[in-house]
A and B are shown apart, each in its own frame.
Chain A
Amino acid sequence: MARIVVTVMLKPEILDPQGTAVRGALTRLGLTGVADVRQGKRFVIDLEGSLDADREALLTKLAGELLANPVIEDYSLQVEA
């Protein structure tokens, strides 16, 4: 069993209206000093068997094609046990 976590975030230079809205709400609800909020997506993928190089390469490729929009988003893969 292998678990891969893919994190997708808007690139830093891209406007994040949802993050901005959350920042406004946090401040309104009393949290002081909120400098910035960025909102993203997290995919948890459980694979049967172990993660070999081929599957990892394919998953990395698919992360950029399916899970993230590389024009406006960055993504990273993290393999967990």
Chain B
Amino acid sequence: MSSTDNAAVTQRGVDTVERAAASPDVQQPWAELGLKADEYQRIRDILDRRPTSAELAMYSVMWSEHCSYKSSKVHLRQFGAKQPVTDALLVGIGENAGVVDIGDGWAVTFKVESHNHPSFIEPYQGAATGVGGIVRDILAMGARPLAVMDSLRFGAPEHPDTSRIVGGVVAGVGGYGNCLGLPNIGGEAVFDSCYQGNPLVNALCVGAMRHEDIHLAKASGVGNLVVLYGARTGGDGIGGVSVLASETFDATGPAKRPAVQVGDPFMEKLLIECTLQMFKEHLVEGIQDLGGAGLSCATSELASNGDGGMRVHLEKVPLRDATLSPEEIIMSESQERMMAVVHPDNIDRVMQICAHWDVTATVVGEVTDGSNLQVFWHDELIVDVPPRTVAHDGPVYERPYHRPAWLDARQADEPTAQRCPRPTSAAEFSEHILRLMSSANLCDREWLTSQYDRYVLGNTVAAMPHDSGVVRIDEASGRGIAVSLDCNGRFGALDPYAGAQLALSEAYRNVAVSGATPLAVTDCLNFGSPEDPEVMWQFAEAVRGLADACLTLGTPVTGGNVSLYNQTAQTAIHPTPVVGVLGVIDDVRSRITMHGARYGDSILLIGRTREEFAGGEWAHVLHGHLGGTAPVVDLAAEMALAKVVREHSPLITSAHDLSDGGLAVALAELVLRNDYGVSVSLSDTEADGFTMLFSESVARAVVTVAAQDVDAVRAACELAGLPSALLGVVSEERSLVIDTDAGRIAISREELAAGWSSALPAIMA
């Protein structure tokens, strides 16, 4: 249907390269497209003429912060410079996603990406297309997508707009993932007023393949064909480019508005199967998914990573809306599309496979022996650019940054006993524990996670509420992976360097207590405006912290995403570097869960507890306090803990990491999530009852072991330099009993569960 309709558009006249060369003085809407004056001048210098409107569209979107990383690039280089030496990394930063060797010829690829701003405007579709986008990134590496995870941040629970966003985002994540048939194996949901006008939706996907199946985004081989397949192209996400349409053409077309991207998970499923079959038959030379910046991104990246040029005939792109202008087609962010480079000998088979899966496929261009990316609209040349200048050689900013003056005051504001009164009697302790357990960030996630299919595909070994998601990769050997996604933005607000390391520390610990060996990292760095030097400092510090910690832990950053401008008016979100850690388990049957304890097992606390409440849940929930020094980062202890747990996994009947809310919350969760109680005493521990229960010191876990194995595990801890304490036993009576220096705390499971399970439904009511 498109060719005749497109002809009508042509008659209105397009801005060709020839016309651009002849009319250097035409005013162009570069400022409306978000370009700076010097950036526009640089485009003119590169091309030695003014850009055509289509070229201007491409440069403006590819040089945007989102696509070019122009503010973050100088800092992100540290992930390469400080990359730990590891044999596990097969493909590093720069491709669609990093690839990690997990042994036995298996490779795993994983990545986390943000879809924050679209999710505020249209929560359901914003979140759904966030999932769809990251799944295509994983697919483009040659892997079969296996599971997704999501890290979500919303505004204050009591705010009237929060339930709209939570409901839409959770339904969107679930709707897309469930329809696609991918299990959602974990993640986090955090409420804090700093995210009120700017929720965070970070989606992670993990996929697996054999080593020989790794595919890269490059267009090589003169004469090879460029195939666009998947959904038809519509006006999704073309927002800003409408300016060009109205500039170039008479206002005869329909009113163009910034169109929300709508996802179609059933089309994505077809795309996955169709693409995997092409891989299996070795029909693809290079491949790229179409996400942000659509065809602009796919064509320029494929061409610049290859060894020649590329010619694209834009009028061949199948359209959903025949009135789209060439500028809009090249910018459209319509979902569920892929671009493959195929040898002419294989093209018939590729088209056959697409037809089999009912996927529209069109040869839209070819690889040339030239050096430029050339785009034609019918017979007119509308883009003629060196692809690297679009995709990789965008502007790079050394933005000024400085430590915020207010930070000293914030760090000096410790949650001391005077500033934040502490519980002194057993009754007050009980009350504080109950208030924590029914708070928005610690309460039961069932309302949310029950909307996600956690077990589809049948390889999910552990999902929410476990500390990490565990998936079986090889059904014969039981080889599998564990993934965890974590962050505490309040730590970032106190100290972004430590905050990023603490996020990594927690994710690493979650993977380790599942019995897995942590291998690699992906990150989604959510920050405010880079044009604010104080935000830029937070970003720089977080990257430095994460890179340093990854080097120490031996887990390289394999890829990820940066999301800036997360702020409402002048107020930026807390620095929120969400970190995903991937680990490998030789046999998922030997994993450690939160559920394996038996009556009479001993409960051990492993790790050092310091007086650390700043940024923690207790100070937040009980006092609304944010100040002081973030917990000490102790990566050596984190590694020692991981080693002890892994090497003694046959003895450990259950394990649970200590993080948000500390020991009190970890013990309460054991009672809530199991059919036993815990009875412990803090009399033999290194600190007072309050510190033991509510401190959020790192590198700690609660493990249960049979009574006869206590000495062996404690000896291993001592050898590793980790303190351990025998707290008590797993009891048949289903209650939480803690003897402290303030007396006995005794809370029945019913009391704990009442507020814990009703809190989230109450927010959504």
> Which residues of A approach B to under 8 Å, CB–CB?
10-17, 20-21, 24, 35, 69, 71-72
Given A69-B122, A71-B260, A72-B125, A15:B1 Cβ within 8 A: no
Bin the interface of chain B by size: 20 to 34
> Which residues of B approach A to under 8 Å, CB–CB?
1, 121-122, 125, 231, 234-236, 254, 256-257, 259-264, 266-267, 320-321, 334-335, 358
B259, A17: Cβ atoms closer than 8 Å: no
Question: Which residue from B121, B122, B264, B358 sits with its C-beta under 8 Å from A15?
Answer: B264
B236, A71: Cβ atoms closer than 8 Å: no
B234, A13: Cβ atoms closer than 8 Å: yes
Query: Measured between alpha carbons, how far is A15 from B234 in the docked complex, in Å?
Result: 7
Q: A-B pairs with CB below 8 Å: how many?
A: 45
CB distance from A80 to the nearest CB of B (A): 29
Query: Measured between alpha carbons, how far is A24 from B360 in the docked complex, in Å?
Result: 12
A72, B262: Cβ atoms closer than 8 Å: yes
Query: Measured between alpha carbons, how far is A20 from B259 in the docked complex, in Å?
Result: 18
A17, B262: Cβ atoms closer than 8 Å: yes
Residues of chain B within 8 A of A12, CB atoms compared: 254, 321
Query: Measured between alpha carbons, how far is A21 from B179 in the docked complex, in Å?
Result: 14
Residues of chain A within 8 A of B267, CB atoms compared: 17
Residues of chain A within 8 A of B257, CB atoms compared: 11, 13
CB distance from B358 to the nearest CB of A (A): 8
A13, B235: Cβ atoms closer than 8 Å: yes
Q: Which residue of A lies closest to B124 (CB)?
A: A69
B254, A15: Cβ atoms closer than 8 Å: no
B266, A15: Cβ atoms closer than 8 Å: no
Query: Measured between alpha carbons, how far is A35 from B322 in the docked complex, in Å?
Result: 12
Q: Which residue of B lies closest to A15 (CB)?
A: B262
Q: Which residue of B lies closest to A17 (CB)?
A: B264
Given A69-B122, A72-B122, A14:B266 Cβ within 8 A: no
Query: Measured between alpha carbons, how far is A37 from B183 in the docked complex, in Å?
Result: 32
The 6 closest A-B pairs by CB, nearest first: A17-B264, A13-B235, A15-B262, A13-B259, A71-B122, A72-B260
Given A13-B321, A71-B122, A35:B259 Cβ within 8 A: no
Q: Which residue of A lies closest to B179 (CB)?
A: A17
Between A and B, 28 residue pairs with Cβ closer than 8 Å are A11-B257, A11-B259, A12-B254, A12-B321, A13-B234, A13-B235, A13-B254, A13-B257, A14-B234, A14-B236, A14-B259, A14-B260, A15-B261, A15-B320, A15-B334, A17-B262, A17-B264, A17-B266, A17-B267, A20-B264, A21-B266, A24-B358, A69-B122, A71-B121, A71-B122, A71-B260, A72-B122, A72-B125
| Known A69-B122, A72-B262; further 11 A-B contacts with Cβ < 8 A | A13-B234, A13-B256, A13-B321, A15-B231, A15-B261, A15-B262, A15-B263, A17-B262, A17-B266, A17-B267, A71-B122
